[in-house]
Chains A and B, each alone.
Chain A
Amino acid sequence: MKLYDYILSPSCYKVRLMAALSGVSLDIRPVDFHPGLEHRGPELLALNPAGSIPILQDGDLILTESSAILVYLAAKAGPEWLASDKPEEAARVQQWLSFSGRLTASLGGARLHEMLLRPGDIDALQRQGVAALRELELGLVEQAERGMRFLAADRPTVADIACFPYVALAPDGGVSLDAYPAIRLWSRRLRSLDRFIEMPGVHRLHELKAEPTVEESKV
């Protein structure tokens, strides 16, 4: 499976993260998104007329929507990341997969503007990002009331992976996460999963390591 990838893209990171968590190895093809704008060049436009990355190529199959790629990887290698056959859970997974597009448009747009100087109305992007974060916070609080620690179930699903990257990187776009305790706990839960991988701006949980042993005082 070949992934057209940009190391700083949260949408590409979703795919790398899902692949790592479900044990799929990817053939990474780096795309010079910045400063080269290679995703707008003829080779990649032929694969994806939308001019976006990630693009996943597996034989004849070409996928250009990150949520579809997550579902494909999970279906192939980690079915436990998909919704169960419970109608409510299946619907919640779809709900948050679609919602993740709003995170990309708002928080992702703010991040590209603040970090890589892409054009955009930064005030509107940040405002929409905050609105989306408030909705996510509420969703997580309601899940907790139902006794569930993740967005669609009491286990992580593709919905969590779809929403996590743009949320975790919101501060890159000047949107603070300080006001959202449920989001911060959820982020910590995801970051402490086995086989979790980072990207620049998503830091490793050093603080989860064992406490250093303190030498007894010799006095």
Chain B
Amino acid sequence: MSMQAMIDEWYPVGIAAQLDTAGRNTLLMGEPIVVATDADGQAKVTGGNGRTLPVRIRYGHVWTSLGEPKKEVFPIPEADQPGRRYVDVGVVRVRCSPLRAVENFLDIAHFPFVHTDILGAEPHTEVQSYKVEIREDVDEVWATQVKFYQPQAAKSASGGITTEYMYRVPAPTCSVLYKTCPPRPSEWDVITLFVQPLTEELCDVWPWMALFDDDTPMTDLIHFQQTIFLQDRSILENQIPRLLPLDPGMEIPTRADLTSVAYRRWLKRHNYTYGAQLVAQ
């Protein structure tokens, strides 16, 4: 494990709308931090030794870093389109590696078995071939042309449709999913998984969405996403080894796992190994 490469990244540490002066005592990569508002109502994050950490407010969440970020929080241009509704789904703690939480988000093969009758259903279990690349210009992992038959792809979907997905990993513990938007076929719904690494084996997950859906009540949107994520949680907590294996000796991937393979390769290339297992044990 090396923290150094990941220390300069931005991490989500709270919902901006829920900050107060009392503050939220939490951890970031093992370091105790306090996320609060200051006397002027501005977000303030204090590190373990009392030092003030950098702060950004983006996508409904407070972001901070233990190091010196070389870039701003990654852009999601679609999220700034007018007419979208923003959904703060709320924090969920998971006893798993932050990298495993992201990897699970990138996987579609488990849909019929874990998200039965919502994101997938037997016998429609085949993962059709899709494209995966590490985009060198932006230094991100992308999976495109991902298609899957879904009984209820979104709260706004009525009946089964073949949904198209694009996945993107712009930061080691964050993923952005673009998904067919049932009410507006020409646009993509944006669904994100922002993961706060508490330790190498414990994380707080902050799902967030930017949707074109004017009809569904906000609570229904929150509950739809919480349902999906809580179906994943018990699986994530039972994965062994607890750290994400980066040594190819540990597992045999299949074609359906191409996104995971690229994600692991990208992590390894950047030495993003906080939460990873480097040598198979």
Give me the interface of A with B, judged by CB distance under 8 Å: 6-8, 30-32, 34-36, 38, 114-117, 171-172, 174, 200-201, 203-204, 206
Contacts and interface: CB of A to CB of B under 8 A. Distances in A.
Nearest to B234: A201
Given A7-B227, A32-B218, A206-B113, A116 B234 contact: no
Given A35-B15, A174-B95, A200 B219 contact: no
B116 interface: yes
Interface stretch (B50-58, B84-92, B97-105, B129-137): B84-92
Contacts of A115: 92-93, 230, 233
A172 B90 contact: no
B36 to A, nearest CB: 16
Contacts of B228: 200
B8 interface: no
Q: Is the interface of B mostly helix, strand, loop or mixed?
A: helix
Contacts, number: 63
B219 A116 contact: no
A199 B52 CA distance: 42
Given A34-B226, A36-B222, 5 more contacts: A36-B219, A117-B91, A171-B237, A200-B228, A203-B234
25 contacts: A8-B223, A8-B230, A30-B219, A32-B219, A34-B90, A35-B15, A35-B18, A35-B89, A35-B90, A35-B91, A38-B219, A114-B95, A115-B92, A115-B93, A115-B230, A115-B233, A116-B92, A117-B204, A172-B234, A200-B227, A200-B228, A201-B233, A201-B234, A203-B231, A204-B116
Interface of B: 15, 18, 88-93, 95, 113-114, 116, 204, 217-220, 222-223, 226-231, 233-234, 237
A7 B91 CA distance: 15
A114 B95 CA distance: 9
Contact of B230 (A32, A38, A201): A201
Contacts of B223: 6-8, 30
Contacts of A116: 90-93
A200 B230 CA distance: 5
Contacts of B116: 204
Q: Is the interface of A mostly helix, strand, loop or mixed?
A: loop
Given A30-B217, A114-B93, A200 B222 contact: no
Contacts of A172: 233-234
A117 B198 CA distance: 13
Contacts of A30: 217, 219-220, 223
Most buried by A among B88, B89, B226: B226
Contact of B93 (A36, A117, A204): A117
A171 B237 CA distance: 9
A35 B231 CA distance: 18
A174 B237 CA distance: 9
Contacts of A7: 223, 226-227
A40 to B, nearest CB: 14
B92 to A, nearest CB: 6
